[in-house]
Amino acid sequence: MLLIRCPWCGDRDEVEFRYGGQADVDYPADPERLDDTAWGNYLFVRANPLGTLTERWVHTAGCRRWFSVVRDTATNEMSPDIPSRRESR
Amino acid sequence: MTSSPNPHRLNASVRSGRIDRARAIDCTVDGRRVRGHPGDTLASALLACGITEVGPSIHRGRARGVFTADCTEPNALVQRLDGCPEPMLPATELEIYEGLEVRTLSGVGWLSGQRDTAGYDKKFVRSDVVVVGAGPAGLAASLVAARGGARVMLIDQHRELGGTLPDGQAHVSGHPATEWVGRAARELAENENVRILTRSVALGCYDHNYLLVAERRAEHLPVWRSSGPRQRLWHVRAGQVVLATGAHERPLVFADNDRPGVMLASAVRSYVNRYAVLPGREGVVFTTSDSAYATALDLLSCGARVPAIVDTRAEPPARLVEQVRAAGAQVYPGSVVTAATGEPGVTGVRIAGLDGNGSLTGTPVEVGCDLLAVSGGWNPAVQLFAQSGGTVRWDPVVAGFVPDSPGGRSARVVGAARGTYDLAGCLAQGFAAGAEAATVAGFRVAPPAVPQVDGDRPVGRPRPVWAVPDESRPRRECTEHFVDLQRDATVADVHAATETGMRSVQHVKRYTTVSTGVEQGKSSGVNTIGVLAETLAASSPGEVGTTTFRPPYTPVPLALFAGRTRGPLYDPVRTTPMHTRHEQAGAVFEDVGQWKRARYYPKNGEDMETAVLRECAAARTGVALQDVSTLGRIEVVGSDAPVFLDRVYTNKFSNLPVGKARYGVMCGADGMVLDDGVSLRLAEDRYLMSTTTGGAAKVLDWLEEWLQTEWPKLDVYCTSVTEQWAAVAVVGPDSRTVVGRLAPELDVSAEGFGFMRFAETVLRNGVPARVARVSFSGELAFEVNVARWYGQALWDAAMEAGRDLGITPYGTETMHVLRAEKGFVIVGQDTDGTVTPLDLGMNWAVSRSKDFIGKRSLSRPEMLRADRKHLVGLLPVDGHSLLPEGAHLVDQRAPRRPPVPMLGHVTSSYRSAALGRTFALGLVSGGRERVGEVLRAPVGGTDIEVEVTTPVFYDEEGVRRDGAAQG
Ligand SMILES: [Zn+2]
């Protein structure tokens, strides 16, 4: 049972959350302009690193807000996804 | 002289033991009376009575005896018969109580058919420092952390604190170590920040310092004396974790090493010192390290003879050798026990020399004994550490797998659990780890000085021997050299596994079933790894590595995990305000998500089929009433609500006029149908969306996800209002009359109240209502919505208004039939996450003029394939066969040798009152092109012929939804 830090509610048990997969997979601005491969990549292709992954969670049984964190997939070490770093991505 | 019930109990002047001799306890083992004292385990009581032998082994039926004094016991497993029968309990851990009744097992127990009425509950707690294991290291860590002010939780498997100290004769500051334990226990008990859980097993240690602890609260009490829960499951979130889990002694592998009378050397000490029981009067000790010398000394000090101490090492520490010689024992250095002799119990051993290459030397000598104490070395109990993500490495100095450098937030491991076997070292590590853990948790404290101790201090390096060579047979024939007593697995079995080509310890484990018993490798694991390393000529056991350590640490009843979450408390039950009316009407309910929905209302002993035919007929020819309060309802509000709904629905909602309703379909980004329902436009900036009963929460999550993560600038708010409304569907040709009576102020005429319109009104009983003309049956129908608390009043008023017309309550089963007759799908029944709106033939609901979630997916090549499965109607050719839902459909000409090509399957299947026959819906490859074809549904050995049709069976022109013509 992971201990997840909701940016609004603080440290809460994993059962209060739902996982949202890799962060920053943006809905394409104009899906019709993407070819089948590009759309397929948006739909189905996700990173699966051994190491750090920026991922989304939603505090379903709490404030119901989405946020992203950086998690080491090998150790489950989690740290906040810093907004300033987001801008540079 | 009458014979004592406890002939092997030591006189109190020799060993007092941690038992209460003033009181006797009688229990029954295999029908025999066994007498013990409070403080005894079942195993110690058996041994005190002179009973060594327990149930025979699982596969080979070989005689077996009590082998350990702890949770690694492979032989003495019993089935408890009193109270709620429970299988596979180690007698070595089972505290006796008056009336305990057990049967010894041959490796297999049984589950009781009886309902377990005992209570099991759960607690969820936080703690600054959790210490697992209350031996010297764990006690030391707890003391320091508590002195620093941290909230400390100390968890130990046993009745008493102290770990193995009560098994031995160590001294702290010049006094028996048990006195130090007593002082520590008092100090901890008096500190309100400390919680001590005895008889509690840390089952698992998980990410982010989460532990599960099983506390036995009443198992050591007779049923009539226990109150409160029998066991409690603690969910613990710890700031810091200190693992002082100790070590388990390894058996030794030699010919006939499974005879009753062969026992771990540490277990012999435990029986002698803790339980004041002498397990044998002539004890041979066979060891690979220093620790078993203390066993010899203990036996000698109790008046037993020790005819031989057999040590694998050529040069055991001189101090130890002198000590045991002075006490009367003979040491055989550089030697091994090649075989235990005697049948069934041990009556002697054969001893031979072992040279530097591990080969036998000299002529074996025979020595008589009735007890063989073995010590193959020690395995640090790294299970919890490894579970929590720690890695282990082979340490050749301690000859065991020890925790590798812990990284990050991993637990601190102290004492024997990391291969530290001397008391001073354990205390020092415990103090240091306790201070460190408390300090990191925010309670600064320094470790105290380690007191003067006088205990067993290993000095010599161990010489492990994984399998003693047989005197005559090669390894592959060593079928009596047992590596796993519980599984009856031998050196020959491990050898056979490698001869089939297996190299990985994981594979060998599964092939031989070694370590798959109750002890889960605590006793058998490392010996198997050692034997495997030798067989594969690996440089060390470390090269072979361990199998994966998984929770639970010891077996635990599933009832504990269920706790109170069973029966009516298994899952929350949601009922509508009209629920009691359905009960009074004799409804049969079904679960839809957490909702209890009326499925049908049998009258006069009707079965479901008859009741549903009657209810359907009422809806099609008269008037019928359904409680539809469970439908999910979400208010979507804000200036961008029209834009938002255009994006989430496949069809357009921005152009829906206020006061009107529209059916909508939602897809995932992959284009697959997610949910459907009717939305009303209440105002320019306000919609009331309805969802399927089961999909409400999922849809709200879905909407919020898109609003928050993709379109945060949209001015839209979503609120679940499911619980704010109660509603009934009034269905049938007579529904206009009924609703007209129910809502006298409302113009319900066909001209005044068109299809897919809604209006606000006040019912005859004064209740404000919103009435909508929507239909899920194809009939003329009205949905009447009121505030939740008027739900029952609404039901009563509708029943009253339709009484003379024979208004008939109907349930979900009838609703399903009615909608299927019209070819209306139920998301989740006729769809399964692989079905697009186009597959359902809903092109009319898919907008071409706007984007929506999933639209791009509908033009992917996969979606355009001609052989995609389409929704079709299916009519059994004989007119009366009822297709089972889920039945596969195959071509008439398809060969019946597997693999038979499947064309699709049945998704909904019913009997229809209106059609006078059975019918079904299904998904069929290229189905729309197959209309008119006859397929076969192989069902139970025969084929049902079905004709493929369009999915609308009833009133294809759709004239009935507006009811009978006026006038
Ligand atoms: Zn939150």
CATH topology of domain A3-86: Folate-binding fold (3.30.2270)
Confidence of residue B2 (pLDDT cuts 50, 70, 90): very low
Q: Which residue has the higher pLDDT, B460 or B771?
A: B771
Write out the two tokens for B299: 């036996």
Interfacial A residues in 22-41 facing B (CB < 8 Å): 26-28, 30-32, 34, 36, 39-40
Q: What is the pLDDT of residue A17?
A: 98
Q: What is the pLDDT of residue A87?
A: 47
Confidence of residue B3 (pLDDT cuts 50, 70, 90): low
* B890 in Cβ contact with B903 (< 8 Å): yes
Mean pLDDT of B425-433: 97
Which residues have CB under 8 Å from B622's CB, separation 6+? B732, B733, B734, B805, B806, B807, B808
pLDDT at B517 over 50: yes
CA pair distance B900, B891, nearest whole angstrom: 9
The tens digit of pLDDT for each residue in B774-790 reads: 999 999 999 999 999 99
Nearest CA in chain A to B857: A39
Does residue A18 sit at the B interface (CB-CB below 8 Å)? yes
Mean pLDDT of B76-95: 92
Confidence of residue B679 (pLDDT cuts 50, 70, 90): very high
Q: What is the pLDDT of residue B459?
A: 74
CA pair distance B154, B361, nearest whole angstrom: 50
In chain A, what percentage of residues exceed pLDDT 70?
92
Mean pLDDT of B109-134: 92
Which residues of B fall within a CB distance of 8 Å from A2? Answer: 207-208
Q: What is the pLDDT of residue B406?
A: 59
* B39 in Cβ contact with B295 (< 8 Å): no
- Looking at every residue in chain B, the average pLDDT score rounds to 95
Which residues of B fall within a CB distance of 8 Å from A61? Answer: none
B670 → closest Cβ in A1, A20, A43: A43
Nearest CA in chain B to A33: B856
Q: Is the peptide bond before B733 cis (omega within 30 degrees of 0)?
A: no
Position B327, amino acid? A
Which residues have CB under 8 Å from B527's CB, separation 6+? B250, B251, B253, B376, B466, B467, B483
Q: What is the pLDDT of residue A81?
A: 83
What is the C-alpha R_g of chain A?
Answer: 15
CA pair distance B83, B500, nearest whole angstrom: 47
A6 C-alpha to center of ligand 1: Å? Answer: 5
Mean pLDDT of B319-324: 95
pLDDT at B20 over 50: yes
* B369 in Cβ contact with B283 (< 8 Å): yes
Q: What is the pLDDT of residue B409?
A: 57
Which residues of B fall within a CB distance of 8 Å from A24? Answer: none
Interface test with A, best of B122, B234, B709, B857 (most A CBs within 10 A): B709
Q: What is the pLDDT of residue A83?
A: 63
Interfacial B residues in 670-709 facing A (CB < 8 Å): 670, 701, 704-705, 708-709
Separation of first and last alpha carbons in chain B: 112
B861 → closest Cβ in A27, A36, A58: A36
> How is chain A split into domains, by residue range?
3-86
The tens digit of pLDDT for each residue in B126-177 reads: 999 999 999 999 999 999 999 999 999 999 999 999 999 999 889 999 999 9
The tens digit of pLDDT for each residue in B379-406 reads: 999 999 998 888 999 999 999 999 996 5
pLDDT at B372 over 70: yes
pLDDT at A34 over 50: yes
Confidence of residue B345 (pLDDT cuts 50, 70, 90): very high
Among B467, B458, B84, residue whose Cα is nearest residue B293: B458
pLDDT at B965 over 60: no
Q: What is the pLDDT of residue B967?
A: 34
SS3 content of chain A, % helix, strand, coil (to 5): 25, 35, 45
Size of interface A-B (CB pairs under 8 A): 58
Distance from CA of B858 to the nearest CA of A (A): 11
Q: What is the pLDDT of residue B115?
A: 84
Question: Cβ separation of B856 and A32 shorter than 8 Å?
Answer: yes
CA pair distance B81, B92, nearest whole angstrom: 17
Mean pLDDT of B801-827: 97
Q: What angle do CA B593, B814, B798 make, to 5 degrees?
A: 90
Lowest mean pLDDT among B656-670, B708-722, B949-963: B949-963
pLDDT at B1 over 80: no
pLDDT at B869 over 90: yes
Which residues of B fall within a CB distance of 8 Å from A68? Answer: none
Q: What is the pLDDT of residue B901?
A: 92
Confidence of residue B898 (pLDDT cuts 50, 70, 90): confident
B206 → closest Cβ in A1, A18, A26: A1
Lowest mean pLDDT among B169-173, B677-681, B759-763, B803-807: B169-173
Backbone angles phi, psi at B899, to 5 degrees: -85, 125
Mean pLDDT of B713-740: 97
CA pair distance B756, B752, nearest whole angstrom: 12
Confidence of residue B963 (pLDDT cuts 50, 70, 90): confident
Position B558, amino acid? L
Q: What is the pLDDT of residue B218?
A: 87
Question: Cβ separation of A1 and B708 shorter than 8 Å?
Answer: no
CB burial readout B511-527, b (16+ within 10 A) else e: bbbbbbbbbbbbbbbbb
Determine the 3-state secondary structure of B67 from DSSP: coil
In chain B, what percentage of residues exceed pLDDT 90?
91
**Cβ neighbour number for residue B18 with a 10 Å cutoff:** 19
Mean pLDDT of B727-747: 97
pTM (two decimals): 0.91
The tens digit of pLDDT for each residue in B204-216 reads: 999 999 999 999 9
* B62 in Cβ contact with B41 (< 8 Å): no
CB burial readout B578-598, b (16+ within 10 A) else e: bbebbeebebebeebbebbbb
Which residues of B fall within a CB distance of 8 Å from A21? Answer: none
pLDDT at B511 over 50: yes
Q: What is the pLDDT of residue B966?
A: 41
